[in-house]
Amino acid sequence: MKARKIYNMKKQRICIVGDGLAGLMSSIALNNLTNLEVHLIAKKNKQMKDKRTTAISASNFNFFQDIVNKFDQKLFWPTKKINLFYETNNKKLNFLNFSEDKNNLMYVFENDKVKKVLLKEIKKKKIKIIQKKITKLSDLDSYDLKVLCLGKSSKIYQNIINSRSIDKDYKEIALTGYVKHNMKEVSTSQFFLKEGPLAILPFSKKNFSFVWSVKKEFIKKNIKSIVTSKLSELLKNKKKVDVTNIQTYPLILNLKRTYYKNDALILGEGLHTVHPVAGQGFNLVIRDIKKLKEVLKYYTSLGISIKSSSALEDFSSSRKSENIITGLGIDLTHNFFKQNKLLDPLKEVILKNISKNNTLKKIGKFISNQGLSI
């Protein structure tokens, strides 16, 4: 038998631009592919502190474990039960509950802590970090693939987009913050309140975060006392809760129709920015990263150059439908729960019937975990 010659294929070079959660995760995930050399490009200034929390599904948590060696599971607070409430004139109607006996439904983590772990993993894997500001795509011409994780409003995207995005200004802001408490237990909950939807996300035994979406004019000087009072009311807690790290950011809907141009791809919030009411924003990002890894693995394993392949077209075709449908679905959900004196009595009837429908619960639970791609 003749010995077969083994050829060492030259590694293709990819740059990930941006050191947010999407950029850090993409760097690690793609670096795990044998035939790729990954560089992470970040600004020279220090990372801004991100005092927020993020919720991810059980399937996306498994992806974290797959790409990061010996991940500290204590950083991720598991949830087996999620309660949904709708505020009527008389009470808070608990119209839907998701629960699991053995498996976890979702996990919540503190952004800053997980970013530190991801950066440590990047250094451990010896992924090259280049600190410089990128102002135009031509700065990256030496790479076979450019993955842009630059947030939702980077001007560089204008060089890629060739069709109108789906845009909407909610004229709302999200109030976020941390809460320390002495209660026995706080459950993961979503309250559809008259002022706007408010989510409670425990990330340790005595701490939870909140996200409250309200109209812009809701912002007042005594916002901390308003938030404290509202949380105490919802949790039926007579003791004062300790609210810290209150932040605000504007809420918009932005769904790109164009994902790439030539060898440059948009990833992360630049592709889709959605309302936080369903907690699906970063879950969509992780599913994008999974698919990109899968597509690049296929082409590079065949020895095909990324530049001359249809890899980005395949990625776009695979992910665009789910991202747009999910984004619009979240928008419809948000609109449904907005106050409307004429429709509110009908909503209450609909929600009471939903609570009795086990099939709908199963479908909702599956989509929250796996997304729309089967």
Q: In angstroms, what CA-CA distances link 27 with 45, 55, 64, 75? A: 19, 21, 13, 20
Token pair recorded at residue 334: 């948000």
Which is more confidently placed, 137 or 353? Answer: 137
d(CA 125, CA 28): 8
* Amino acid, single-letter form, for residue 194: K
In a domain, 359, yes or no: yes
Query: 139 lies in a domain?
Result: yes
Q: How much is the pLDDT for 341? A: 83
pLDDT per residue as tens digits for the range 92-121: 999 888 888 888 999 999 999 999 999 999
State how many domains the chain has.
Answer: 1
> The domain spanning residue 211 has which CATH number?
3.50.50.60
CA distance 106 to 127: 30
DSSP three-state, residue 221: coil
Question: Within a domain: residue 3?
Answer: no
- Tell me 207's DSSP state: E
User: Would residue 267 count as lying in a domain?
Assistant: yes
Per-residue model confidence as pLDDT tens digits over 122-145: 999 999 999 998 988 999 999 999
Enclosing domain of residue 51: 12-370
Q: What is the pLDDT of residues 270-291, one digit of tens each?
A: 999 999 998 999 999 999 999 9
**How far is residue 54's CA from residue 77's CA, in Å, rounded to a whole number?**
11
Distance CA 173, CA 158 (A): 25
Contact yes or no for 232/127 (Cβ under 8 A): no
In a domain, 4, yes or no: no
